[in-house]
Structure 1
Amino acid sequence: MDTTVPTIRFDQNGECNFCEMHDVMEARYPLDERGKAELDRLVADIKKAGEGKKYDVICGTSGGRDSTWTLLLACKTLGLRPLAVHFDNGWNSAIAVSNVHNACEILDIDLETYVADWDEFRDIQHAFLKASTPDVEVPTDVAIHTVMHKLAVKEGVKYIFNGHSFRTEGIAPKDWTYMDGRYIRDVQETFGTVPIKDFQNFNLWDYLKFHFIHRVKVVPILNYFPYDKRVVDKKIQAELGWRNYGGHHHESTYTKFIQSYLLPRKFHVDKRRTENSAMIRSGYMTREEALDGVKDIYPYDPTLIGYVAEKFNLTVDQFNELVDRPVKSFRDYKSYYPLIRLMKLPIDIASRLGIIPRLLYLKFLG
């Protein structure tokens, strides 16, 4: 991580705020007896909440490494009964679809697939390209989050497993990835051509409703485990027939285009920096290996440009004109961020009391 990240800052010892956040997460999820004891208590609570119900937990699955590993841990290691949930936004790779079905069949778990309205969803994605911010894949992230919460309420499930690990993926700077429902709505109203109707948005009321009324908890389950990707790959390949699709989050062709082409070339955002930094701190990579891994610009498949343009019903020239628009930020649009800033003190207090994760304060207000 370096000064290409707008919100980075260094203390008197030359240590950056992202290392501070990593330290907070390591303290919160220690890989020792304390962490094991907390995990045991958590699993006991999940099983108790699932008594008399068909499922214990909701797990999102994309066919990627993280979500496939989450399913394997939930079933085989923790002895839980998950409902796997897949969000189909129209960009799935064939390998990802195969990975999803193989995992669910081998583990003998139910799969619920939510298929987005393609015309509406494509229009929202198109609007984000016009908005010219790095958050072009945020609609997908928000929609799967909403779908899982709604299914949790429908099935009476109190827990959702999040397949993100800070030890391998790091902590995304808010200027690289920012999401909230008001932001999505404003971008769509500004640049979209159809009103939001079926899109699964997640606004402030949804957060309050699911968190405080329905008491649904999102658990970053991978944080409780060591996560050496080489070891994980071998396990999910051997046990679930998982196949690699060539790069982190490349299970979706659109995400592959975003991470390999759009972000590094338009926004100078290379997510290998956050990932490699996390793996240095977690002991899975040396600093020299990490630097060597980002010395060249992210490689990409040139045929992706034509493929993505065609999916948006655009010529390559029209698409390139869209990509070449001046760079903007989420701050250029309406969002909940001003409210978050206004609530800085109570959010700080709530995070210190453990009511909300401390990381949220450090990332957005620290």
Structure 2
Amino acid sequence: MINMKSYHICTNCVMDTTDPNIIFDEKGVCERCNQYYSQILPSWNKGNGHDEELKKILNKIKKDGEGRSYDCLLGLSGGFDSSYMLHFAIKELGLRPLVFHVDAGWNTPFAEENIAKMVTKLGVELKVEKINWDEERDFQLAYFKSGVPHLDIPQDLAFVAVLDNFAKKNGLKYILNGGNISTEVIVNPQSWGYWGTDMKHNKDIISRFGTVPMKTYPFTSVFKRKILLPYVYGIKVVKLLNYVPYIKKEAEDLLKKEYGWTPYPQKHFESYMTKFIEGYWLPERFGYDVRRPQLSSLILTEQMSRDEALKRLENSALTNEESKELFDRIALMLEITTDELKSYLEMPHKTYKDYKHQDYLFGLGSKVMYWLKLDKLIRI
């Protein structure tokens, strides 16, 4: 938890010393803000001035898709960004995406309803791949048993692996991604998570705490994602929302009006597991509030005032009643007692360093790709 004697919060956004590696300048502004103003904003320009770049990308996608039923692949989680990305791709860009949903078993009813509303109104086919529930449940439980904070890895790993494999198998060269600078320019601090594609790390946690053989689980690796996918198979992950002005409030209003789409109280709350991890587990166990980077992104992109963000942070993401109900639900879905789940909440904190890992290789690879301008944040 936070040591209040040394506690500091950025004077510009709401990032604070729950990120132990945060650095402030003499004015109390964090390095994340300074990076945004000096390196990202000048190139991105809030999505303005990229018309020619966007046109070139769209022409390439459409040309490569000529004669095919689809020209790209779009993963639809039911969450906000992917839902708007679907509307944007079809209605505003004229693309023909194959819409794909990866069902890891944690969908909320709101997510199911929002997905159905979108695909029905747009008249598109939805392909769904269900992850083996015994493997998903056991993999997720293994991460709880490990004591680390990066509990989102099992779900996220399945999502990206399934999409990558499907694109490769079906000859689709473009995967549309709803990720964007406008609402995600401040990402979670590295100290709050870890590389999901470090298979040495995943295998160690599974070998120590897993009980179900992972015969069908869709794993992937950093080598597959960063090297094989783009440079051998020619499959590109494209973030088209970075090429246009993307305002969250305007996009949300459009989704509600055009599709009857139901907003979530918080980003990523379309999944019971993610809602539990981000709304309860991380704040309660580690003191990490993922709303800080989310709200800080909106502050930097001038979609929210700092005062409004601070006011939102005065209250917990979930009420006591919501927390208890969700705690009981997750224990039931994991097929353990609430007492067992509580024991993992109260166990000593662990990090990736307590298990086998290849962080040194990931760090080196990240630096190399940055130097070669292959994986820079400011590249849109």
Is TM (by shorter chain) over 0.5? yes
Alignment match, 2:190:
174
Look up the match of 2:266.
247
1:325 counterpart (322, 343, 347) = 347
SS class of match (2:285): helix
CA distance, structure 1, for counterparts of residue 370 and residue 254 of structure 2: 40
The amino acid across from 2:315 in the alignment is D
CA displacement at 1:21 relative to structure 2: 4.2
Equivalent residues of 2:145, 2:344 under 8 A apart: yes
Which residue of structure 2 aligns with residue 364 of structure 1? none
Q: Secondary structure at the match of 2:316?
A: coil
Measured in 2, the distance between the counterparts of 1:164 and 1:267 equals 26
Between the aligned partners of 2:192 and 2:78, the Cα distance in structure 1 is: 24
Aligned positions of 1:83-232 closer than 5 A: 83-169=98-184, 170-178=186-194, 179-182=196-199, 183-207=201-225, 208-232=227-251
- Change in Cα spacing, 1:49 to 1:258, as seen in structure 2 (3 Å) is same
- Aligned residues of 1:69 and 1:236 also touching (Cα < 8 A): yes
Q: Greater shift after overlay, 68-77 or 22-31? A: 22-31
SS at match of 1:34: coil
Deviation at residue 265 of structure 1 after TM alignment = 0.5
Q: Is 1:63–1:97's contact at 8 Å kept on the other side of the alignment?
A: yes
What amino acid sits opposite 2:21 in the alignment? T
- The separation in 1 between residues aligned to 2:160 and 2:50, in whole angstroms, is 26
Over residues 57-109 of structure 1, what are the superposed CA-to-partner deviations in whole Å (9 max), with x where a residue is unaligned?
11111111111101000001111001111111111111211111221121122
Task: Determine whether 1:311 maps to 2:333.
Answer: yes
The whole-number CA distance in structure 2 between the counterparts of 1:343 and 1:116 is: 30
Q: What is the CA distance between 1:279 and its match in structure 2?
A: 0.6
| Alignment partner, residue 22 of structure 2 | 8
Stretches of structure 1 that go unaligned for 5 or more consecutive residues are 361-366
Matched letter for residue 329 of structure 1 = T
Q: In 1, are the aligned partners of 2:103 and 2:130 still within 8 Å (CA)? A: yes
Residues 332 and 223 of structure 1: CA distance in aligned 2, closer, same or farther (over 3 Å): farther
Deviation at 1:340, TM superposition (A): 2.4
User: In the alignment, which of 280, 284, 299 is matched to residue 280 of structure 1?
Assistant: 299
Give the aligned residue type for 1:3: T
Q: Which residue of 2 aligns with 1:44?
A: 59
Q: Quote the sequence identity (%).
A: 34
Alignment CA distance shift 1:331-1:355 (3 Å):
same
Contact 1:61 1:85 in 2 (8 A): yes
Q: Which moved more, 1:124-133 or 1:241-250?
A: 241-250
TM-score (norm 2): 0.88
- Structure 1 residue 336, shift from structure 2 partner: 3.2
CA RMSD of aligned residues (A): 2.0
Please, which moves more after superposition, 320-329 or 243-252?
Answer: 243-252
1:278-316 CA distances to partner (integer Å, 9 max, x unpaired)?
A: 111100111111111112333241211111111111111
